[in-house]
């Protein structure tokens, strides 16, 4: 059965495997998540479940959102995410999913919003090279370089790597490995890095590659 859950990134640490090797892990507070809505092919044209994560005061939600939660008879949730799963027959509105839906060794995909870096130059944004800072280079050692075309076609080609906004975009890291699951504290330790700063909301689901 396909699985999915919403979590909050707590930070990175390290664990030791059976052979004593250090494994860098990202710790995610995964769940508890409540099934707020169940979408079916008959009513919506596709099947999916909508999960809610994190409690929020009822006075802070809008009236349409309050009606949505009241219809499901669940407490208001701060974050809502939808998961398209191949089989949702085992899930019903009001069910609570915890970290133990995953187990050590599972292969997963993690979706999050990367850290915002603001306005960045070409070297930081595109991993470009700078010029040699020798005689005659002038004050352009970290500039974007030539725009390319001259009088023909008299324009800069689309896709030219220029300075601009870096980060703060949706990123999916595929095929990560679950190292450890602490069901009692709703924690999942994932090998490697996960997008976003500490406290960022991430979505964990089964890997599409595994």
What does residue 65 show for φ and ψ, rounded to 5 degrees? -65, -40
| Residue 48, pLDDT above cutoff 70 | yes
Residue 117, CA distances (Å) to 67, 111, 113, 114, 125 in order: 38, 18, 12, 9, 9
Please tell me whether residue 195 adopts helix, strand or coil conformation.
coil
Please tell me whether residue 196 adopts helix, strand or coil conformation.
coil
Q: How far apart are CA 168 and CA 109, in angstroms?
A: 19
How are beta strands 96-97 and 33-39 bridged, if at all? antiparallel
Q: Of 102, 124, 117, which Cα lies nearest the Cα of 183? A: 102
Q: How far apart are CA 199 and CA 197, in angstroms?
A: 6
Q: How far apart are CA 2 and CA 155, in angstroms?
A: 49
User: pLDDT tens for residues 90-106?
Assistant: 889 989 999 999 999 99
Burial code (b: 16+ CB inside 10 Å, e: under 16) for 93-109 equals eeeebebebbeeebebb
Q: What was the pLDDT predicted at 137?
A: 84
Name the band, by pLDDT with cuts 50, 70 and 90, for residue 1.
low
Q: What was the pLDDT predicted at 140?
A: 87
pTM of the model: 0.86
Name the band, by pLDDT with cuts 50, 70 and 90, for residue 133.
confident
User: pLDDT tens for residues 66-122?
Assistant: 999 999 999 999 999 999 988 888 889 989 999 999 999 999 999 999 999 999 999
């Amino acid at each position: 059965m396909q699985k999915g859950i919403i979590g909050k990134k707590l930070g990175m640490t390290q664990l030791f495997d059976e052979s004593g090797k250090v494994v860098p892990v990202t710790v995610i507070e995964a769940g508890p998540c409540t099934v707020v809505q169940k979408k079916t092919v008959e009513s919506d044209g596709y099947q999916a479940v909508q999960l809610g994560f994190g409690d929020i005061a009822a006075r802070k939600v809008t009236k349409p959102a309050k009606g949505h939660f009241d219809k499901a008879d669940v407490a208001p949730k701060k974050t809502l995410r939808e998961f398209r799963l191949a089989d949702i027959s085992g899930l019903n509105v009001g069910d609570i999913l915890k970290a133990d839906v995953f187990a050590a060794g599972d292969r997963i995909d993690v979706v999050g919003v990367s850290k915002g870096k603001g306005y960045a130059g070409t070297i930081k944004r595109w991993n470009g090279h700078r010029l040699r800072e020798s005689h005659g280079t002038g004050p352009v050692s970290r500039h974007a370089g030539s725009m390319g075309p001259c009088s023909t076609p008299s324009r800069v080609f689309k896709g030219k790597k220029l300075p601009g906004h870096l980060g703060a975009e949706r990123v999916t890291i595929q095929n990560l490995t679950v190292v450890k699951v602490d069901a009692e504290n709703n924690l999942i330790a994932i090998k490697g890095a996960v997008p976003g700063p500490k406290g960022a909301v991430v979505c964990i689901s089964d890997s599409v590659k595994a």
